[in-house]
Structure 1
Amino acid sequence: MSETTLSPVRAVLADDERLMREQLRSRLTEVWPELEIVAEAKNGLEAVELVREHHPDLVFLDIRMPGLTGVDAARQIAQLPEDDSWLVPEIVFITAYDQYAVEAFEQGVADYVLKPAERERLVLTVARIKKRLAQRHNGGGGESAEAAPAETGQAQPLQQLLHQLSAKLNPGGAPKYLQWIQATVGQAIQMIPVEDVLFFISDEKYTRVQTAGVEALIRKPIKELVDELDPALFWQIHRSTLVNVKAINGITRDFRGRQLVGVKGLSEKLEVSRSYTQLFKGM
């Protein structure tokens, strides 16, 4: 992405400490003078509303904020509706604690800044963000019409990182994920093992639960399922779609360059929205 030919990257800063916001804004002005900071939030709820209002490309979220933590705010931001002109923003977490700088940050799905923001670390963060924004703008890279199946761990989904951070913020044992889905099949209610589900896909009212032999319906939306399913097993590839990683048999591109996920045993293809193309980077 060339910054000379595209509109300036727009950002929202969220930190409950005014001095920290001012310090980060100052450092960002030094290392990324083209960046346009469109709004600042004092808490997580305000951050979500400002992202909804301003549609930034990037949001800096303090991990610990009153009302709504940065992690919970990121969950809500990740589920905001996209359109052709706006994608869910890239996330950078702000933290005063090294223990939150988990390995997942280094895998490129999100980044972090330690308080107070040091110039050298911020330069690295900015370089990573620019690279990810360029890849998103270019459709995720890769000109090949067909690609091999994704490998778990090749690119960690955002929801997996959020689960890890949430566990660190709220220690108390391993999270308990859904094991069964109670769904409507015809006129009957059926209990479906989660591991048998190939994918979930939502419309405005229902979520379709697809297994190898059954198509069922539930009323639970994707934004709730994201937090209840094991993120190592189910990846969100679109605002309306979760796919079982073990069910992916390949990634193709259509004539418009969109990534499509093939599902084992089915002819149906699942579209990957531009916000999630990094899950299959290099494909």
Structure 2
Amino acid sequence: MSEFDPHHLKVLLVDDEAFIRSTIRQILMQIGIPKTNVYEAENAMAAINQTLRVRPDLIICDIHMEGYDGFAFVSSLHKAPIPEAATIPVIMLTSDAGAEAVAIAKGLNVAGYLVKPVSIAAVKKSIERALKVTLP
């Protein structure tokens, strides 16, 4: 793995809870990702629009959201009109550690699976694995 400068990384946070988005934003900033490079979406439909607009390098997405859930979002991402969208690594961030949810995530080829609450170290490690880089 090569060392990677997190100042250039664009991350999209998808979670229906503003507190969780705020918490993860703070963690990302502590890792070295600038606040201006962290984008947010409060649901899966907004996340599709943000993905097509921002073209993030990484997406961190909740599973259980009202209406369109995180799994449906990832599935839609794979069918997006922009082919590069299908290759954006997605890390699922959820309180669901159940075998069924993990199996569905694996079936969708997500790049990582974090169970809430998360630590700075866990988020950093998950990002490094998803992007195949080493963060300082």
TM over 0.5: yes
- The structure where helix makes up a greater share of residues is 2
Per-residue CA deviation, residues 82-131 of structure 1 (Å, 9 max, x unaligned), is: 46xx45311111111211344965xx752112222222321320220230
- 2:128 maps to 127
Q: What residue ranges of structure 2 are gaps of 5+ in the alignment? A: none
Per-residue CA deviation, residues 225-274 of structure 1 (Å, 9 max, x unaligned), is: xxxxxxxxxxxxxxxxxxxxxxxxxxxxxxxxxxxxxxxxxxxxxxxxxx
- 1:66 maps to 66
Whether the 8 Å CA contact 1:20–1:115 is kept in 2: the answer is no
AA aligned opposite 2:48: V
1:48 lines up with 2:48 in the alignment: yes
Whether the 8 Å CA contact 2:111–2:129 is kept in 1: the answer is no
RMSD: 2.6
**Aligned with 1:12: secondary structure?**
strand
RCO (CA 8 Å, sep 6+): is it higher in 1 or 2? 2
In 2, Cα distance between the equivalents of 1:19 and 1:30? Answer: 17
Q: What residue ranges of structure 1 are gaps of 5+ in the alignment? A: 133-283
Shift of 1:3: 3.0
AA aligned opposite 2:89: E
In 2, Cα distance between the equivalents of 1:66 and 1:97? Answer: 15
AA aligned opposite 2:117: P
Shift of 1:2: 5.2
In 1, Cα distance between the equivalents of 2:104 and 2:75? Answer: 19
In 1, Cα distance between the equivalents of 2:104 and 2:68? Answer: 24
> Which has more radius of gyration?
1
**Aligned with 1:25: secondary structure?**
helix
TM-score, normalisation: structure 2: 0.77
AA aligned opposite 1:112: Y
AA aligned opposite 1:63: I
Whether the 8 Å CA contact 2:92–2:110 is kept in 1: the answer is no
